[in-house]
Structure 1
Amino acid sequence: MFTGIVQGTAEVVDVIEAEAFRTHVVRLPEHLLEGLALGASVAHNGVCLTVTAVDGDRVSFDLMRETLRVTNLGAVSIGDRVNIERAARFGDEIGGHAMSGHVMAQAELVELDEAPNNRRLWFLLPEGLDRFVFTKGYIGVDGISLTIGALRQETRGGAFCVDLIPETLARTTLADRRPGDRVNIEVDPQTQAIVETVERVLAAKGGA
Protein backbone atom coordinates (compact mmCIF):
# COMPACT_ATOMS: atom_id res chain seq x y z
CA MET A 1 0.00 0.00 0.00
CA PHE A 2 1.04 3.59 -0.66
CA THR A 3 -0.14 6.94 0.67
CA GLY A 4 0.40 9.22 -2.32
CA ILE A 5 2.99 11.29 -0.44
CA VAL A 6 5.87 11.28 -2.92
CA GLN A 7 9.23 11.07 -1.13
CA GLY A 8 11.31 12.43 -3.98
CA THR A 9 12.22 11.87 -7.60
CA ALA A 10 14.77 9.51 -9.14
CA GLU A 11 16.63 9.65 -12.44
CA VAL A 12 16.27 6.79 -14.88
CA VAL A 13 19.87 5.84 -15.70
CA ASP A 14 19.26 2.79 -17.90
CA VAL A 15 16.43 1.19 -19.87
CA ILE A 16 16.84 -2.42 -21.04
CA GLU A 17 14.33 -3.36 -23.74
CA ALA A 18 12.99 -6.83 -24.48
CA GLU A 19 9.91 -8.14 -26.28
CA ALA A 20 6.83 -6.67 -24.51
CA PHE A 21 9.06 -6.13 -21.48
CA ARG A 22 11.59 -3.63 -20.18
CA THR A 23 13.79 -3.07 -17.15
CA HIS A 24 14.22 0.37 -15.62
CA VAL A 25 17.32 1.20 -13.60
CA VAL A 26 16.96 4.29 -11.42
CA ARG A 27 19.43 6.08 -9.18
CA LEU A 28 17.70 6.40 -5.82
CA PRO A 29 18.53 9.16 -3.35
CA GLU A 30 20.30 7.97 -0.21
CA HIS A 31 17.28 8.47 2.06
CA LEU A 32 15.24 6.05 -0.09
CA LEU A 33 17.84 3.28 -0.06
CA GLU A 34 17.75 2.51 3.67
CA GLY A 35 16.57 -1.06 4.23
CA LEU A 36 15.72 -1.56 0.55
CA ALA A 37 15.89 -5.23 -0.41
CA LEU A 38 15.04 -7.49 -3.33
CA GLY A 39 11.29 -7.95 -3.62
CA ALA A 40 10.44 -4.61 -2.01
CA SER A 41 7.64 -2.53 -3.52
CA VAL A 42 8.41 0.97 -4.78
CA ALA A 43 5.98 3.19 -6.68
CA HIS A 44 7.22 4.91 -9.87
CA ASN A 45 4.79 7.61 -11.01
CA GLY A 46 2.20 5.77 -8.93
CA VAL A 47 2.91 2.34 -10.42
CA CYS A 48 3.77 -0.38 -7.89
CA LEU A 49 7.01 -2.06 -9.04
CA THR A 50 9.18 -4.74 -7.46
CA VAL A 51 12.90 -4.34 -6.78
CA THR A 52 14.79 -6.92 -8.88
CA ALA A 53 18.39 -5.80 -8.27
CA VAL A 54 20.31 -3.35 -6.06
CA ASP A 55 23.78 -2.19 -7.08
CA GLY A 56 24.79 0.68 -4.81
CA ASP A 57 22.35 3.49 -5.56
CA ARG A 58 21.28 1.89 -8.85
CA VAL A 59 18.06 -0.09 -8.41
CA SER A 60 16.37 -2.20 -11.10
CA PHE A 61 12.66 -2.81 -11.71
CA ASP A 62 10.93 -4.97 -14.34
CA LEU A 63 7.91 -3.73 -16.30
CA MET A 64 5.57 -6.23 -17.96
CA ARG A 65 3.41 -5.77 -21.05
CA GLU A 66 0.30 -4.59 -19.16
CA THR A 67 2.28 -1.97 -17.23
CA LEU A 68 3.76 -0.66 -20.47
CA ARG A 69 0.30 -0.54 -22.08
CA VAL A 70 -1.64 1.17 -19.29
CA THR A 71 0.89 3.58 -17.77
CA ASN A 72 3.25 6.32 -18.93
CA LEU A 73 6.33 4.32 -17.89
CA GLY A 74 6.57 2.85 -21.37
CA ALA A 75 7.50 6.33 -22.65
CA VAL A 76 10.18 6.97 -20.03
CA SER A 77 13.72 7.43 -21.36
CA ILE A 78 17.20 7.59 -19.86
CA GLY A 79 17.61 10.93 -18.11
CA ASP A 80 13.91 11.28 -17.25
CA ARG A 81 12.86 11.55 -13.62
CA VAL A 82 10.02 9.63 -11.95
CA ASN A 83 8.14 10.21 -8.71
CA ILE A 84 9.18 7.72 -6.03
CA GLU A 85 7.37 6.42 -2.94
CA ARG A 86 8.46 3.47 -0.83
CA ALA A 87 5.66 1.17 0.34
CA ALA A 88 3.94 2.28 3.54
CA ARG A 89 4.76 0.38 6.73
CA PHE A 90 2.46 -0.39 9.63
CA GLY A 91 2.35 2.62 11.92
CA ASP A 92 3.37 5.15 9.24
CA GLU A 93 1.45 8.41 9.08
CA ILE A 94 -0.96 8.44 6.12
CA GLY A 95 -0.78 12.04 5.00
CA GLY A 96 -2.51 11.46 1.66
CA HIS A 97 -4.98 8.65 1.02
CA ALA A 98 -4.66 4.89 0.66
CA MET A 99 -3.40 3.95 -2.81
CA SER A 100 -2.75 0.51 -4.28
CA GLY A 101 -0.20 1.44 -6.94
CA HIS A 102 -2.48 -0.09 -9.59
CA VAL A 103 -2.87 2.61 -12.23
CA MET A 104 -6.17 2.51 -14.10
CA ALA A 105 -5.40 4.75 -17.08
CA GLN A 106 -3.60 7.85 -18.27
CA ALA A 107 -4.97 11.39 -18.46
CA GLU A 108 -3.79 14.19 -20.74
CA LEU A 109 -2.76 17.57 -19.35
CA VAL A 110 -4.86 20.03 -21.38
CA GLU A 111 -4.42 23.32 -19.54
CA LEU A 112 -1.89 24.89 -17.20
CA ASP A 113 -2.79 27.99 -15.16
CA GLU A 114 0.13 29.72 -13.42
CA ALA A 115 -0.41 32.00 -10.42
CA PRO A 116 1.90 33.36 -7.70
CA ASN A 117 3.06 30.46 -5.47
CA ASN A 118 0.73 27.87 -6.98
CA ARG A 119 -0.29 26.18 -10.20
CA ARG A 120 -3.58 24.77 -11.48
CA LEU A 121 -3.53 21.81 -13.87
CA TRP A 122 -6.50 20.56 -15.89
CA PHE A 123 -6.52 16.92 -17.01
CA LEU A 124 -8.81 15.22 -19.52
CA LEU A 125 -10.15 11.94 -18.16
CA PRO A 126 -10.43 8.78 -20.24
CA GLU A 127 -14.01 7.78 -21.00
CA GLY A 128 -15.67 5.95 -18.11
CA LEU A 129 -13.46 7.30 -15.32
CA ASP A 130 -15.46 10.50 -14.81
CA ARG A 131 -18.03 8.62 -12.75
CA PHE A 132 -15.39 8.04 -10.04
CA VAL A 133 -14.36 11.66 -9.55
CA PHE A 134 -16.08 14.49 -7.71
CA THR A 135 -15.15 17.91 -6.38
CA LYS A 136 -13.01 17.69 -3.21
CA GLY A 137 -12.53 13.96 -3.74
CA TYR A 138 -9.13 12.26 -3.81
CA ILE A 139 -7.24 11.20 -6.92
CA GLY A 140 -3.75 9.84 -7.60
CA VAL A 141 -1.84 11.71 -10.33
CA ASP A 142 1.55 10.17 -11.16
CA GLY A 143 1.53 8.71 -7.66
CA ILE A 144 0.66 11.98 -5.90
CA SER A 145 -2.37 12.13 -3.63
CA LEU A 146 -4.28 15.24 -4.71
CA THR A 147 -7.66 16.83 -4.07
CA ILE A 148 -9.91 17.50 -7.06
CA GLY A 149 -10.56 21.25 -7.25
CA ALA A 150 -13.28 21.34 -9.89
CA LEU A 151 -14.85 19.42 -12.76
CA ARG A 152 -15.89 20.54 -16.22
CA GLN A 153 -17.06 19.06 -19.49
CA GLU A 154 -14.76 19.13 -22.51
CA THR A 155 -15.63 18.33 -26.12
CA ARG A 156 -13.68 15.07 -25.70
CA GLY A 157 -15.09 14.19 -22.27
CA GLY A 158 -14.85 15.12 -18.61
CA ALA A 159 -11.94 17.01 -17.09
CA PHE A 160 -10.76 17.77 -13.57
CA CYS A 161 -8.29 20.20 -12.05
CA VAL A 162 -5.85 20.08 -9.14
CA ASP A 163 -4.10 22.97 -7.41
CA LEU A 164 -0.45 22.54 -6.48
CA ILE A 165 1.44 24.27 -3.70
CA PRO A 166 5.18 25.07 -3.98
CA GLU A 167 6.13 22.01 -1.89
CA THR A 168 4.41 19.64 -4.32
CA LEU A 169 6.04 21.38 -7.28
CA ALA A 170 9.47 21.15 -5.64
CA ARG A 171 9.15 17.49 -4.61
CA THR A 172 7.55 15.96 -7.72
CA THR A 173 7.76 15.92 -11.51
CA LEU A 174 4.51 17.88 -11.96
CA ALA A 175 6.54 21.09 -12.12
CA ASP A 176 7.87 19.88 -15.49
CA ARG A 177 4.58 18.77 -17.01
CA ARG A 178 3.29 20.65 -20.05
CA PRO A 179 0.04 20.47 -22.06
CA GLY A 180 -0.04 17.28 -24.08
CA ASP A 181 1.85 15.28 -21.46
CA ARG A 182 0.17 12.18 -20.04
CA VAL A 183 0.02 11.23 -16.37
CA ASN A 184 -0.94 8.04 -14.56
CA ILE A 185 -4.31 8.05 -12.83
CA GLU A 186 -5.49 5.99 -9.87
CA VAL A 187 -8.96 6.85 -8.62
CA ASP A 188 -9.72 6.57 -4.93
CA PRO A 189 -10.35 2.82 -4.42
CA GLN A 190 -13.07 3.39 -1.82
CA THR A 191 -14.95 5.70 -4.18
CA GLN A 192 -14.57 3.17 -6.99
CA ALA A 193 -15.95 0.37 -4.81
CA ILE A 194 -18.95 2.43 -3.69
CA VAL A 195 -19.83 3.63 -7.21
CA GLU A 196 -19.53 0.17 -8.77
CA THR A 197 -21.57 -1.42 -5.95
CA VAL A 198 -24.36 1.15 -6.35
CA GLU A 199 -24.32 0.64 -10.13
CA ARG A 200 -24.67 -3.14 -9.71
CA VAL A 201 -27.53 -2.78 -7.22
CA LEU A 202 -29.40 -0.32 -9.47
CA ALA A 203 -28.84 -2.53 -12.51
CA ALA A 204 -30.19 -5.56 -10.64
CA LYS A 205 -33.26 -3.66 -9.51
CA GLY A 206 -33.84 -2.35 -13.02
CA GLY A 207 -33.74 -5.86 -14.41
CA ALA A 208 -36.05 -7.29 -11.78
Structure 2
Amino acid sequence: MFTGIIEAVGTIKAINVNAQGARLVIDTNSLDMSDVKLGDSIATNGICLTVVDFDNGKGNGSYSADVSNETLQRTGFANYQVGSKVNLEKAMLASTRFGGHMVSGHVDGVSEILAINNNGNSIEYWLSMPSDLAHYIAEKGSVTIDGTSLTVNALAEESSKGSFRLTIVPHTVKETIFAQYQVGSKVNIEVDLIARYLERLLTKSNEDDQAPTSNVTESMLLKAGFIK
Protein backbone atom coordinates (compact mmCIF):
# COMPACT_ATOMS: atom_id res chain seq x y z
CA MET A 1 0.00 0.00 0.00
CA PHE A 2 1.19 3.52 -0.85
CA THR A 3 0.13 7.12 -0.23
CA GLY A 4 0.87 8.70 -3.61
CA ILE A 5 3.44 11.09 -2.11
CA ILE A 6 6.51 10.75 -4.34
CA GLU A 7 9.79 10.28 -2.47
CA ALA A 8 12.24 10.55 -5.37
CA VAL A 9 12.57 10.58 -9.13
CA GLY A 10 14.53 7.61 -10.47
CA THR A 11 15.96 6.73 -13.86
CA ILE A 12 15.56 3.50 -15.83
CA LYS A 13 19.09 2.13 -16.13
CA ALA A 14 18.36 -1.09 -18.05
CA ILE A 15 15.44 -2.97 -19.62
CA ASN A 16 16.06 -6.65 -20.26
CA VAL A 17 13.18 -8.19 -22.21
CA ASN A 18 12.44 -11.90 -21.75
CA ALA A 19 9.65 -14.37 -22.54
CA GLN A 20 7.85 -13.58 -19.26
CA GLY A 21 8.02 -9.80 -19.70
CA ALA A 22 11.04 -7.72 -18.70
CA ARG A 23 13.45 -7.05 -15.87
CA LEU A 24 14.08 -3.40 -15.06
CA VAL A 25 17.02 -1.84 -13.28
CA ILE A 26 16.17 1.51 -11.70
CA ASP A 27 18.67 4.08 -10.45
CA THR A 28 17.00 5.42 -7.32
CA ASN A 29 18.92 8.73 -7.18
CA SER A 30 17.92 10.38 -3.86
CA LEU A 31 15.62 7.59 -2.60
CA ASP A 32 16.78 6.27 0.79
CA MET A 33 17.53 2.58 0.24
CA SER A 34 19.00 1.90 3.70
CA ASP A 35 15.88 0.04 4.90
CA VAL A 36 15.06 -1.82 1.66
CA LYS A 37 15.05 -5.62 1.70
CA LEU A 38 14.55 -8.25 -0.98
CA GLY A 39 10.83 -8.70 -1.60
CA ASP A 40 9.94 -5.13 -0.61
CA SER A 41 7.57 -3.14 -2.79
CA ILE A 42 8.45 0.11 -4.55
CA ALA A 43 5.85 1.98 -6.59
CA THR A 44 7.51 2.83 -9.90
CA ASN A 45 5.41 5.34 -11.82
CA GLY A 46 2.49 4.07 -9.77
CA ILE A 47 3.11 0.38 -10.43
CA CYS A 48 3.79 -1.79 -7.40
CA LEU A 49 6.99 -3.68 -8.21
CA THR A 50 8.80 -6.26 -6.09
CA VAL A 51 12.50 -5.74 -5.44
CA VAL A 52 14.40 -8.84 -6.63
CA ASP A 53 17.89 -7.34 -6.38
CA PHE A 54 19.26 -4.06 -5.08
CA ASP A 55 22.38 -2.04 -4.37
CA ASN A 56 22.39 0.57 -1.62
CA GLY A 57 26.13 1.03 -1.53
CA LYS A 58 28.13 4.15 -2.31
CA GLY A 59 26.55 6.73 -4.58
CA ASN A 60 23.06 6.34 -5.99
CA GLY A 61 21.34 3.10 -5.13
CA SER A 62 19.49 0.90 -7.57
CA TYR A 63 17.03 -1.99 -7.62
CA SER A 64 15.85 -4.58 -10.09
CA ALA A 65 12.24 -5.68 -10.56
CA ASP A 66 10.43 -8.04 -12.89
CA VAL A 67 7.54 -6.72 -14.99
CA SER A 68 5.05 -9.25 -16.39
CA ASN A 69 3.60 -9.15 -19.90
CA GLU A 70 0.25 -8.29 -18.27
CA THR A 71 1.79 -5.19 -16.70
CA LEU A 72 3.48 -4.21 -19.96
CA GLN A 73 0.13 -4.41 -21.76
CA ARG A 74 -1.95 -2.53 -19.18
CA THR A 75 0.45 0.29 -18.31
CA GLY A 76 2.74 2.78 -19.99
CA PHE A 77 5.83 0.65 -19.41
CA ALA A 78 5.75 -0.56 -23.01
CA ASN A 79 6.69 3.00 -24.05
CA TYR A 80 9.54 3.45 -21.58
CA GLN A 81 13.19 3.30 -22.52
CA VAL A 82 16.59 3.46 -20.90
CA GLY A 83 16.95 6.96 -19.48
CA SER A 84 13.23 7.48 -18.80
CA LYS A 85 12.47 9.20 -15.50
CA VAL A 86 10.06 7.51 -13.08
CA ASN A 87 8.34 8.51 -9.83
CA LEU A 88 9.36 6.37 -6.84
CA GLU A 89 7.67 5.65 -3.52
CA LYS A 90 8.47 2.89 -1.05
CA ALA A 91 5.57 1.03 0.55
CA MET A 92 4.07 2.94 3.47
CA LEU A 93 4.70 2.01 7.10
CA ALA A 94 2.08 1.90 9.84
CA SER A 95 3.81 4.96 11.29
CA THR A 96 3.88 6.87 7.99
CA ARG A 97 2.14 10.25 7.84
CA PHE A 98 -0.79 9.78 5.45
CA GLY A 99 -0.31 12.78 3.18
CA GLY A 100 -2.04 11.51 0.04
CA HIS A 101 -4.72 8.84 -0.29
CA MET A 102 -4.85 5.03 -0.33
CA VAL A 103 -2.96 3.83 -3.40
CA SER A 104 -2.66 0.12 -4.19
CA GLY A 105 -0.09 0.33 -6.98
CA HIS A 106 -2.44 -1.61 -9.28
CA VAL A 107 -2.76 0.55 -12.40
CA ASP A 108 -6.23 0.64 -13.97
CA GLY A 109 -5.25 2.00 -17.37
CA VAL A 110 -3.39 4.59 -19.40
CA SER A 111 -4.48 8.20 -19.90
CA GLU A 112 -3.22 10.77 -22.41
CA ILE A 113 -2.36 14.38 -21.67
CA LEU A 114 -4.59 16.50 -23.92
CA ALA A 115 -3.62 20.06 -22.93
CA ILE A 116 -1.21 21.92 -20.65
CA ASN A 117 -2.02 25.49 -19.58
CA ASN A 118 -0.33 27.92 -17.17
CA ASN A 119 -2.60 29.38 -14.49
CA GLY A 120 -0.74 31.79 -12.23
CA ASN A 121 2.13 29.88 -10.62
CA SER A 122 0.37 26.54 -11.20
CA ILE A 123 -0.04 24.40 -14.30
CA GLU A 124 -3.32 22.87 -15.46
CA TYR A 125 -3.27 19.50 -17.17
CA TRP A 126 -6.26 18.09 -19.05
CA LEU A 127 -6.18 14.30 -19.37
CA SER A 128 -8.29 11.83 -21.30
CA MET A 129 -10.77 9.83 -19.28
CA PRO A 130 -10.85 6.14 -20.33
CA SER A 131 -14.51 5.22 -20.85
CA ASP A 132 -14.34 2.20 -18.55
CA LEU A 133 -12.93 4.34 -15.73
CA ALA A 134 -15.00 7.51 -16.17
CA HIS A 135 -17.58 6.62 -13.51
CA TYR A 136 -14.83 6.35 -10.88
CA ILE A 137 -13.50 9.86 -11.54
CA ALA A 138 -15.31 12.61 -9.61
CA GLU A 139 -14.72 16.33 -9.21
CA LYS A 140 -12.74 16.91 -5.99
CA GLY A 141 -12.09 13.17 -5.83
CA SER A 142 -8.68 11.51 -5.75
CA VAL A 143 -6.79 9.97 -8.66
CA THR A 144 -3.24 8.65 -9.01
CA ILE A 145 -1.16 9.69 -12.04
CA ASP A 146 2.16 7.86 -12.46
CA GLY A 147 2.06 7.19 -8.73
CA THR A 148 1.28 10.79 -7.67
CA SER A 149 -1.79 11.39 -5.49
CA LEU A 150 -3.81 14.25 -7.02
CA THR A 151 -7.20 15.93 -6.78
CA VAL A 152 -9.53 16.13 -9.78
CA ASN A 153 -10.46 19.83 -10.19
CA ALA A 154 -12.93 19.62 -13.07
CA LEU A 155 -14.62 17.23 -15.47
CA ALA A 156 -15.52 17.73 -19.14
CA GLU A 157 -17.88 14.96 -20.18
CA GLU A 158 -19.46 16.59 -23.21
CA SER A 159 -16.98 14.95 -25.59
CA SER A 160 -17.29 11.34 -26.65
CA LYS A 161 -14.40 10.26 -24.42
CA GLY A 162 -14.48 12.86 -21.67
CA SER A 163 -11.56 14.44 -19.85
CA PHE A 164 -10.56 15.74 -16.44
CA ARG A 165 -8.38 18.54 -15.15
CA LEU A 166 -5.56 18.54 -12.62
CA THR A 167 -4.00 21.67 -11.17
CA ILE A 168 -0.35 21.08 -10.29
CA VAL A 169 1.49 23.37 -7.88
CA PRO A 170 5.22 24.18 -8.32
CA HIS A 171 6.33 21.84 -5.51
CA THR A 172 4.71 18.84 -7.20
CA VAL A 173 6.26 19.77 -10.55
CA LYS A 174 9.68 19.97 -8.90
CA GLU A 175 9.45 16.71 -6.95
CA THR A 176 7.90 14.49 -9.66
CA ILE A 177 8.18 13.86 -13.39
CA PHE A 178 5.33 16.26 -14.26
CA ALA A 179 7.83 18.75 -15.70
CA GLN A 180 8.68 16.31 -18.51
CA TYR A 181 5.08 15.76 -19.65
CA GLN A 182 3.98 17.09 -23.02
CA VAL A 183 0.70 17.02 -24.91
CA GLY A 184 0.36 13.43 -26.07
CA SER A 185 2.31 11.93 -23.15
CA LYS A 186 0.85 8.68 -21.83
CA VAL A 187 0.54 8.26 -18.05
CA ASN A 188 -0.52 5.47 -15.72
CA ILE A 189 -3.80 6.06 -13.93
CA GLU A 190 -5.19 4.41 -10.81
CA VAL A 191 -8.69 5.40 -9.71
CA ASP A 192 -9.78 5.80 -6.11
CA LEU A 193 -9.61 2.47 -4.26
CA ILE A 194 -12.71 3.15 -2.15
CA ALA A 195 -14.79 3.96 -5.26
CA ARG A 196 -13.97 0.57 -6.77
CA TYR A 197 -14.98 -1.34 -3.65
CA LEU A 198 -18.17 0.68 -3.21
CA GLU A 199 -19.18 -0.20 -6.76
CA ARG A 200 -18.55 -3.87 -6.05
CA LEU A 201 -20.69 -3.74 -2.91
CA LEU A 202 -23.56 -1.97 -4.69
CA THR A 203 -23.60 -4.19 -7.77
CA LYS A 204 -25.50 -7.47 -7.80
CA SER A 205 -23.72 -10.54 -9.01
CA ASN A 206 -24.33 -11.19 -12.72
CA GLU A 207 -23.09 -14.74 -12.42
CA ASP A 208 -25.54 -16.08 -9.87
CA ASP A 209 -29.01 -14.59 -9.46
CA GLN A 210 -29.33 -16.40 -6.15
CA ALA A 211 -26.18 -14.89 -4.69
CA PRO A 212 -26.88 -12.78 -1.59
CA THR A 213 -26.59 -9.04 -2.14
CA SER A 214 -24.83 -6.60 0.13
CA ASN A 215 -26.64 -4.85 2.98
CA VAL A 216 -24.85 -1.68 1.93
CA THR A 217 -27.29 0.49 -0.03
CA GLU A 218 -27.04 3.85 -1.76
CA SER A 219 -29.48 5.39 0.74
CA MET A 220 -27.35 4.10 3.63
CA LEU A 221 -24.20 5.67 2.15
CA LEU A 222 -26.08 8.93 1.51
CA LYS A 223 -27.35 9.07 5.08
CA ALA A 224 -23.86 8.38 6.47
CA GLY A 225 -22.36 11.17 4.36
CA PHE A 226 -20.16 8.99 2.13
CA ILE A 227 -21.87 10.25 -1.03
CA LYS A 228 -23.78 13.40 -1.92
Q: Is the 8 A contact 2:9 2:30 kept in 1?
A: no
1:156 shift after superposition? 3.7
1:137 shift after superposition? 0.4
What's 2:149 paired with? Answer: 145
Q: Is the 8 A contact 2:113 2:127 kept in 1?
A: yes
State which of 95, 104, 113 in structure 1 corresponds to 2:108. Answer: 104
The structure whose residues are more often helix, as a share, is: 1
Q: Is the 8 A contact 2:8 2:30 kept in 1?
A: no
**Where in structure 1 do 4 or more consecutive aligned residues deviate above 4 Å?**
none
Q: Which amino acid aligns with 2:122?
A: N
Residue 162 of structure 2 aligns to a residue whose secondary structure is strand
1:198 shift after superposition? 2.6
Which of structures 1 and 2 has the bigger CA Rg? 2
Residue 174 of structure 1 pairs with residue 191 of structure 2: no
Q: Is 38-47 or 18-27 further displaced after alignment?
A: 18-27
Q: Which amino acid aligns with 1:39?
A: G
Residue 6 of structure 1 pairs with residue 6 of structure 2: yes
Q: Is the 8 A contact 1:42 1:84 kept in 2?
A: yes
1:200 shift after superposition? 3.0
Q: Which amino acid aligns with 1:132?
A: Y
Residue 174 of structure 2 aligns to a residue whose secondary structure is helix
What's 1:129 paired with? Answer: 133
Specify which structure has the bigger relative contact order, considering alpha-carbon pairs within 8 angstroms and separated by 6 or more residues: 1
Quote the sequence identity (%).
Answer: 32
What's 1:36 paired with? Answer: 36
Q: Which amino acid aligns with 1:19?
A: A
Structure 2 gaps of 5+ residues are: 210-228
What's 1:68 paired with? Answer: 72
Q: Which amino acid aligns with 1:71?
A: T
Normalising by structure 1, what TM-score? 0.92
**What per-residue deviation string (whole Å, max 9, x for no partner) do you get for residues 59-107 of structure 1?**
1111001110111122111111100000001111110001100001011
Q: Is the 8 A contact 1:32 1:86 kept in 2?
A: no
Residue 200 of structure 1 aligns to a residue whose secondary structure is coil
Normalising by structure 2, what TM-score? 0.84
Relative to 1, partners in 2 of residues 1:53 and 1:21: Cα closer, same or farther, differing over 3 Å?
same
What's 2:166 paired with? Answer: 162
Residue 79 of structure 1 pairs with residue 111 of structure 2: no
State which of 188, 192, 195 in structure 1 corresponds to 2:196. Answer: 192
